[in-house]
Amino acid sequence: MKLILSRKGFDSTAGGCPSPLIDGRPVSLPIPTRMPTPTRYGDLANGVAQLVGDLTNGRITPERPCHLDPDIDASALPRRHGWRATFGQVGPAQSHLANNGICAGDLFIFWGLFQSVARTGGGRWSFTGRREHRIFGWLQVDEVINVGTNPEACLTRHPWLKDHPHVREGWSVSNSIYVGRESLELPNGPSQVRGAGVLPQGHRLTKAGSPNVSTWTVPTWLNPSHGGTGLTYHRPDSWLNAETLRVASRGQEFIADIGERQDALEWVRQVLNGAGEG
């Protein structure tokens, strides 16, 4: 089994600010896009349009198209019959996933840049506190679909994907979609957790007290100098000590081949604790 730490959502480049933490709950904001998509911020449920408008000081409006991907929150939009959680990837990031053999059974753990928010007296959202990297969701792969430049075959087989941004024209031949499982299946036994979803509180990655959001507290089983799996895009000197990692500033998909390591699987269970039953 491979574990993919997948960077997604708003940041200083994509969107121009962090995604919000609302009473500790991470709300990953989908990034703006120029690629064809049927979804605009105003279409999204759960007050996302106001959050985006307030936190960008009106720079991003409800009419702006957004890239809803990973699409792992069933409540984000009205859903077509048969909808499943999905994640699309393309270009160098998809090549990295393909070159590492990501396939059914592997697990994406989605993380991004977050900052606490609160409502002001006028009801507008504003940032408070410090920025941090936090895990906000997950998807275990059930199927990998090579959509390529022509989505017709994909939509014939999976018509419920019609609203997904990666079934629009304009993508390159590497364009792919990862479909999530209905329920999580781990090598160390059955699970009552859904195969994909968003976490109610998430899991903080940024080291407590660190002024640098990219200094993480990580489990020792990742550290190659301590018998760990290692993590793609990271050299041995990326680890500052056994459990502290200076995360790479480039790259979207960081992969660890955890196999059936019990320490790694226990960490997965802890991160997904409270995610809800399938």
First-residue to last-residue Cα distance in the chain: 21
Cis peptide before 70 (omega within 30 of 0): yes
Predicted confidence at residue 159, as pLDDT, reads: 97
Domain ranges of the chain: 2-271
CB 140 within 8 A of CB 111: no
Mean per-residue pLDDT for 113-137? 95
Rounded-to-integer distance, Cα 76 and Cα 73, Å: 6
pLDDT digits (tens, 9 = 90+) for 17-51: 999 999 999 999 999 999 989 999 999 999 999 99
Cα 167 from chain centroid (whole Å): 19
CB 7 within 8 A of CB 113: no
pLDDT band at 169 (very low <50, low <70, confident <90, very high): confident
Predicted confidence at residue 276, as pLDDT, reads: 56
Give backbone dihedrals phi and psi of 52, rounded to 5 degrees, phi first: -65, -45
pLDDT band at 273 (very low <50, low <70, confident <90, very high): confident
Predicted confidence at residue 215, as pLDDT, reads: 98
pLDDT at 250 over 90: no
pLDDT digits (tens, 9 = 90+) for 74-113: 999 999 999 999 999 999 999 999 999 999 999 999 999 9
Rounded-to-integer distance, Cα 42 and Cα 61, Å: 8
- pTM of the full structure: 0.96
